[in-house]
């Protein structure tokens, strides 16, 4: 063993620790899990503007991962649990699940009448292959349909599950059932890192945001995640001497300041948006290699997203590109099944060539206006493609405009179409 260890050291002796990736270090994974929680809190903070959910505050890392305060003054307690998407789905008996549900029940008893409901959210999914003690969606749905556990036989899966949580928390089965009746679960079935794109999608629901450049929306989204991250930290927002006044209970004042720092309200979100919405650096100066990452865009389209962002293309247009690309890819698969791979490939390349020509013409016209011209180019290209569909539908093999926009997205990813002067869009760009 020692000999092998020495051999491994010798093999890397000429290298530097900053040039060798430590794949056993779990720090990145832990950071990604916290980032997911903060991003999910940011999404709920954005909903304070859109009005979805009738909430007035998001309170981070107090009693739960975060609390949603409703207009009624009652709360939704929320827990976020992440799991690598390659691992099996959550089962009802998993320790993470039972502990989370038990905590909901205890919190419900600690603050009677204060909670409208509870929410367990994961990036992963829930096991539901059969109706059994492992199937959490079925257990909760059945409990809601029955209105409780009254009348259930002792050997029923539902009663057993409720009684196990009751035993672990020291509560009565009736109290546990009452909490579980108001508990919802959400499984998003996505990689942990994909939450970044969800923040921007939520942001685009706010009035006027779709018209902003994607780069601006990406910057605002990151700032809102940072807002949630700071609200989750147990830290005062200023020198402690500013909190002191003769005759006051300093402990109570400090606790009040800590709680105030955990609250995110509508004004906080609007303040972040207004800070970036009005301008900032010209788009040509932004570092899109760090601004647009695989968490902000699908990993197979991140280069395209960076190039569109650099050109100042609006967020609404950029976030729709993925759907258009998938539409064109689906069309290729349909052609393959119907006509064979060779014919499908021929059609695919013909369409790409036609779109590349139209994109080059649109770019040539748009760049004459100077400045970030991606938005103008997008409009010109859309018009040209609409006309091409109208006049050359047979040559385009029946493609619809959204297929052609998808083809433009693929060409952008392949660096055959640009929306700004060319730059290094690679992941490791300086």
The number of folded domains in the chain is: 2
The answer, yes or no, to whether residue 2 has pLDDT greater than 90, is: no
Please list the residues that pair with 55 across neighbouring strands. Answer: 70
Strands 183-187 and 263-265: unpaired
Please indicate, yes or no, if residue 217 is contained in any of the structural domains: no
- Please tell me the predicted confidence (pLDDT) of residue 74: 96
- Please tell me the predicted confidence (pLDDT) of residue 430: 43
CA dist 126 and 186 (Å) reads: 9
Tell me the pLDDT tens digit for each residue of 131-140.
888 999 999 9
- Please tell me the predicted confidence (pLDDT) of residue 240: 59
Lowest mean pLDDT among 277-281, 321-325, 366-370: 277-281
Please indicate, yes or no, if residue 8 is contained in any of the structural domains: no
Domain boundary among 149, 167, 194: 194
Same domain? 288 vs 178: no
- Please tell me the predicted confidence (pLDDT) of residue 155: 82
The answer, yes or no, to whether residue 1 has pLDDT greater than 50, is: no
- Looking at residue 117, the DSSP 8-state letter turns out to be E
The Cβ of residue 68 has, within 10 Å, a number of other Cβ atoms equal to 25
In contact, 319 and 309? CB cutoff 8 Å: no
Please indicate, yes or no, if residue 94 is contained in any of the structural domains: yes
Task: Look up the domain containing 368 and give its range.
Answer: 281-413
- Average pLDDT of the chain is 86
Please indicate, yes or no, if residue 215 is contained in any of the structural domains: no
Q: Output the domain CATH number for residue 153.
A: 3.40.1350
Tell me the pLDDT tens digit for each residue of 275-298.
887 654 444 456 777 777 776 777
CB environment 408-424: b (16+ within 10 A), e (fewer): bbbbbbeeebbbbeeee
What mean pLDDT do residues 13-39 have?
69
The answer, yes or no, to whether residue 166 has pLDDT greater than 90, is: yes
- Please tell me the predicted confidence (pLDDT) of residue 15: 62
Domain boundary among 194, 217, 250: 194
Burial (Cβ within 10 Å: 0-12, 13-18, ≥19) of residue 177: buried
Same domain? 186 vs 286: no
User: H helices of 340-414, where?
Assistant: 341-366, 374-391, 401-413
Phi-psi region of 170 (alpha: psi -120 to 50; beta: other; left: phi over 0): left
What mean pLDDT do residues 13-36 have?
65
The answer, yes or no, to whether residue 73 has pLDDT greater than 90, is: yes
Please indicate, yes or no, if residue 394 is contained in any of the structural domains: yes
Tell me the pLDDT tens digit for each residue of 250-264.
777 777 778 888 999
CA dist 406 and 36 (Å) reads: 29
Query: Cα 266–38–81 angle (5° rounding)?
Result: 125
The Cβ of residue 94 has, within 10 Å, a number of other Cβ atoms equal to 18
Same domain? 179 vs 290: no
């Amino acid at each position: 063993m020692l000999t092998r260890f020495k051999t491994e050291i010798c093999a890397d002796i000429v290298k530097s620790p900053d040039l060798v990736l430590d794949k056993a270090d779990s720090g990145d994974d832990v950071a990604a899990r916290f980032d997911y929680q903060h991003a999910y809190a940011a999404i709920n903070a954005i909903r304070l503007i859109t009005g979805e959910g009738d909430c007035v505050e998001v309170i981070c890392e107090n009693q739960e991962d975060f609390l949603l305060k409703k207009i009624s003054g009652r709360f939704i307690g929320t827990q976020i649990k992440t799991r690598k998407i390659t691992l099996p789905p959550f089962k009802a008996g998993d320790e993470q699940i039972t502990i989370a549900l038990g905590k909901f029940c205890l919190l419900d008893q600690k603050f009677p009448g204060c909670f409208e409901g509870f929410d367990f959210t994961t990036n992963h999914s829930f096991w539901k292959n059969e109706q059994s003690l492992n199937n959490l969606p079925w257990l909760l749905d059945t409990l809601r349909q029955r209105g409780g556990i009254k009348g259930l036989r002792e050997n029923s899966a539902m009663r057993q599950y409720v009684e196990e949580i009751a035993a672990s928390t020291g509560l009565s089965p009736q109290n546990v059932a009452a909490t579980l009746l108001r508990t919802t679960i959400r499984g998003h079935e996505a990689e942990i890192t994909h939450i970044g794109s969800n923040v921007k999608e939520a942001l685009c629901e706010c009035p006027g945001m779709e018209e902003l450049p994607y780069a601006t929306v990406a910057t605002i989204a990151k700032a809102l995640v940072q807002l949630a991250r700071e609200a989750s930290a147990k830290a005062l927002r200023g020198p402690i001497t500013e909190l002191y006044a003769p005759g006051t209970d300093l402990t109570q004042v400090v606790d009040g300041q800590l709680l105030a720092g955990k609250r995110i309200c509508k004004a906080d979100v609007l303040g972040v948006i207004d800070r970036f919405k009005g301008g900032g650096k010209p788009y040509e100066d932004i570092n899109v290699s760090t601004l647009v990452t695989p968490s902000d865009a699908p990993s197979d389209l991140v280069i395209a997203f960076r190039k569109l962002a650099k050109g100042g293309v609006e967020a609404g247009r950029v976030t729709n590109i993925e759907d258009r690309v998938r539409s064109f890819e689906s069309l290729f698969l349909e052609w393959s099944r119907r006509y064979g791979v060779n014919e499908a490939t021929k059609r695919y390349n013909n369409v790409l060539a036609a779109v590349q020509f139209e994109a080059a013409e649109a770019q040539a016209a748009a760049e004459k206006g100077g400045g970030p011209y991606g938005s103008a180019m997008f409009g010109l290209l859309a018009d040209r493609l609409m006309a091409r569909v109208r006049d050359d539908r047979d040559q385009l093999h029946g493609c619809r405009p959204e297929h052609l926009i998808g083809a433009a997205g693929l060409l952008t990813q392949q660096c055959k179409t640009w929306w700004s002067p060319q730059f290094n869009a690679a992941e490791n760009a300086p």
